[in-house]
Structure 1
Amino acid sequence: MTTLRQGETGSLPERNERFFKKDDYWYYTTREGVDIGPFDSEDDAAAGCSDFIEFIFTSDPNFPSTLEQYGRDVA
């Protein structure tokens, strides 16, 4: 069962799987729709995802909108 995350209110938003395997390599997808990888294992992808989230929290406040642009360009 999925629950609300810290700071969320209201109805439960739709959740997607963040990690996926393609051609024997692991990737993760950002909220902006950008696939990041390849990683040799799901654990490596999870560690990379954690590093990415930490980077986002410490980056320029405009960086997420820049990343969204890459997600739109690829789609």
Structure 2
Amino acid sequence: MKLALFTAIIGSIVYGITYVLLGNGFLSAVLGGIAWLLALKAIYHMGWLKALIVAVGIWIITTVIGVLLPTAIGPV
């Protein structure tokens, strides 16, 4: 679990730096995603295809949660 947090932090740092330097959210997200794939590949000793499959799987899960969570019934 610690390694998963570390790979997420690496991607977030790269995203933040490129966003500040370039000011473009899409390009920063692409570069942050590439950094995250490189971190997954290096830390977990995954191949490119497996790292990409993991990344796409997590992207799908977070998209579904992002759509459903704001519409969930919360405290009134």
1 or 2, which has the higher strand percentage? 1
Task: Tell me the TM-score normalised to structure 2 length.
Answer: 0.37
